[in-house]
Amino acid sequence: MKVKLSKTTFSRAEFKVASSVLKSGWLTHGEYNKKFENLFKKLTNTKYALTLNSCTSALELAIKCQNITKEVIVPSFTWVSSANAIITSGAKPVFCDSDYKTRNVTLKNIKPLVNKNTQAVMVVHYGGQCCEMDKIYEFCKKKKIKIIEDSAETLGGTWKNKHPGYWGVGCFSFFPTKNITTAEGGMITCNSRELYLKFKAMAAHGILSQSYDREKKKTLPWYKYAVIAGHNYRMSNMLAAIGYEQLKKIKKLNNHRIKVAEKYNLFFKKNKIPVQQPFVNKKAKHVYQTYAINVDEKIRNDLILFLRKKGVEASVHFTPVLHEQKYFSKYLPKYKKLPNASKLSKTLVSLPMHSKIKDKEIKYVCDCIKKYFKIRL
């Protein structure tokens, strides 16, 4: 049996709406971008949302439009986009450690690194569970430090019933491995109109009015005024249409992931397999973009290779951690070690998790793991 690590979930609705966009002839930024943004605002309870071509673009906008040019504290245990966005935007990443149990950055990890050059903290909500944001928010508010939430993996998740983007600028991903997908795409959210208008202009060549909006006006729609130096970070009407239909099903898709996680948890508990399951904070809603277990680092790679030989697409998110990569190592404070980040990268195993996985596939994954530990022990 082959069990994929991740799969996209498309229904007739996505194919139908994509076809309608093709037939309309309006493929670039259009009516579905607005529909997608409005539905997203409603879900996350934020005032403003802007569709983009990636979460990386969202992170870059969050930095550039807030004039962040000095230091940004960011966990080393994350995907490269988090640090890349800081560097390409002209700021400096300062790597911090994460909590081993939750795999998220905490205030305890952030505090020691704050200095006069700290302008922002980029929290990364790992695997579907939000960081302990109330503590981080109160601290940053007192210190006048901006918060950027890398929420690529946590759409639909909450901390104390508040969605990512409530505590700071929210940056989301719709890559195929995420809880909903537009193939490639992202979203940025905020509660400031002034900031939103900066995002909107910088994402579209520095021009506030989009072609779709201009063409609806009767007076001189061909006039295009730039108000800022910008990029082309826009999402197409086609991808926004797919995202709009996907977002309608987010609760159903996430509930399936939660049920899959419960089945994995029951298996590990019932069979007393020596692994650490994902820890779920009682104040958080975990939506399991990733289901990752911790195992002894001596067997981690061996277990993954065993599972892959059996057709189970296990993987690691993430290794190596950023501060251990040659290019990024220069951004680690001198003589500073990040033991939890390093240990996480050596002990985590990501198991198949998506909204299409079937019970027989879950059982097969569990049987393979049971077989491996029976041989090992």
* 307 shares its domain with 258: yes
Q: Are residues 111 and 196 in the same domain?
A: yes
Q: Give the pLDDT band of residue 361 (cuts 50, 70, 90).
A: very high
- Work out the percent of the chain whose per-residue pLDDT is above 70: 96
Show which of 249, 278, 294 is a domain's final residue.
249
The tens digit of pLDDT for each residue in 3-37 reads 999 999 999 999 999 999 999 998 988 899 999 99
Range of the structural domain that residue 210 is part of: 12-249
Beta-strand relationship, 284-285 and 291-294: unpaired
Residues in the chain: 377
Are 186 and 70 within one domain? yes
pLDDT tens digit sequence for 175-190:
999 999 999 999 999 9
Q: Does residue 180 sit in the same domain as residue 95?
A: yes
Kindly report the number of other CB atoms within 10 A of residue 170's CB atom: 28
- Is there a contact between 318 and 98 (Cβ–Cβ < 8 Å)? no
Average pLDDT over residues 224-228: 80
Residues 221 and 156 in one domain: yes
Angle at 104 between CA 99 and CA 109, to 5 degrees: 55
Structure tokens at 181: 């997908």
**Strands, E, within 162-314: which ranges?**
169-173, 186-190, 284-285, 291-294
305 located within any domain = yes
Tokens standing for residue 28: 């670039």
pTM assigned to the model: 0.96
Q: How many domains does the chain have?
A: 2
Question: Same domain, yes or no, for 265 and 245?
Answer: no
Please tell me the predicted confidence (pLDDT) of residue 226. 83
What average pLDDT score do residues 92-110 get?
97
Residue 6 lies in a domain: no
239/319 same-domain check: no
228 shares its domain with 261: no
CATH number of the domain that 87 lies in?
Answer: 3.40.640.10
Q: What is the pLDDT of residue 208?
A: 79
Task: Quickly state the pLDDT bin for 217 (edges 50, 70, 90).
Answer: low
Task: Answer whether residue 218 shows pLDDT above 70.
Answer: no
- Together in a domain, 104 and 242: yes
Answer yes or no: is 93 within a domain.
yes
Q: How many CB atoms lie within 10 A of CB 192?
A: 13
Q: How far is CA 38 from CA 54, 205, 331, in A?
A: 18, 23, 38
Given 249, 264, 291, the domain boundary residue is 249
Whether residue 160 lies inside any domain: the answer is yes
pLDDT in tens, 256-315: 999 999 999 999 999 999 999 999 999 999 999 999 999 999 999 999 999 999 999 999
What is the residue-wise DSSP string for 73-93? EEESSS-HHHHHHHHHTT-EE
Of 229, 249, 269, at which residue does a domain stop? 249
**In whole angstroms, what separates CA 93 from the centre of its chain?**
18
Residue 332 confidence (pLDDT): 83
Local structure of residue 160 (DSSP, 8 states): T
